């Protein structure tokens, strides 16, 4: 878990689209926060900046008191679950969960242990052999997590 701070964040797309204006946010460890606002007010842009998928025009993005504006997404220790397309449709739930661990060259036994542990926490033990298309929306989101 981590603390997240946004100090006076601004985002311009091109010169004239000011998508996020002077935005401050302070989220404590284990705090649960929901973004609500009218369409186009900058919610997705803000999340994408936090994840490192969008450049920040100005301001400071801090994760655990480290300024991460220029830190690449994989080194931010933060993850994002997309609404759609988060899973590989041709792979089983097991293989989807194991994918990142395989890329990091974990041993097969370690991967099995970690996948089963994650599946237990997320209530997905009975779905490990299924393909994403045979899951509910909420189950898919949990696989993505």
Binding flag, residue 44, ligand ATP (CB under 6 A):
yes
Neighbours of 86 (CB within 10 A): 15
Query: How far apart are CB 61 and ligand ATP at their closest, in Å?
Result: 15
Contact call for residues 92 and 128 (beta carbons, < 8 A): yes
Per CB under 6 A, the segment of 32-40, 58-66, 74-82, 108-116 that binds ligand ATP is 32-40
Q: What is the largest CA-CA distance in the chain?
A: 53
Query: How far apart are CB 42 and ligand ATP at their closest, in Å?
Result: 4
Binding flag, residue 134, ligand ATP (CB under 6 A):
no
The DSSP output letter for 126 is G
Binding site for ligand ATP (CB under 6 A): 13, 17, 19, 37, 39-45
């Amino acid at each position: 878990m981590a603390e997240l701070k946004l100090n006076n964040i601004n985002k311009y797309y091109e010169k004239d689209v000011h998508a996020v204006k002077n935005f401050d946010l302070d989220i404590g460890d284990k705090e649960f926060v929901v973004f609500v606002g009218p369409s186009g007010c900058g919610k997705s842009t803000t999340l994408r900046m936090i994840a490192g998928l969008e450049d920040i025009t100005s301001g400071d993005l801090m994760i655990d008191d480290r300024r991460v504006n220029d830190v690449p997404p994989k080194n931010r220790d933060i993850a994002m679950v997309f609404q759609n397309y988060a899973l590989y449709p041709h792979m089983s739930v097991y293989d989807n969960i194991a994918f990142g661990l395989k890329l990091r060259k974990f041993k097969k036994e370690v991967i099995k242990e970690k996948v089963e542990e994650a599946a237990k926490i997320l209530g997905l033990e009975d779905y490990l052999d299924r393909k994403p298309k045979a899951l509910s929306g909420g189950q898919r989101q949990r696989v993505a997590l």
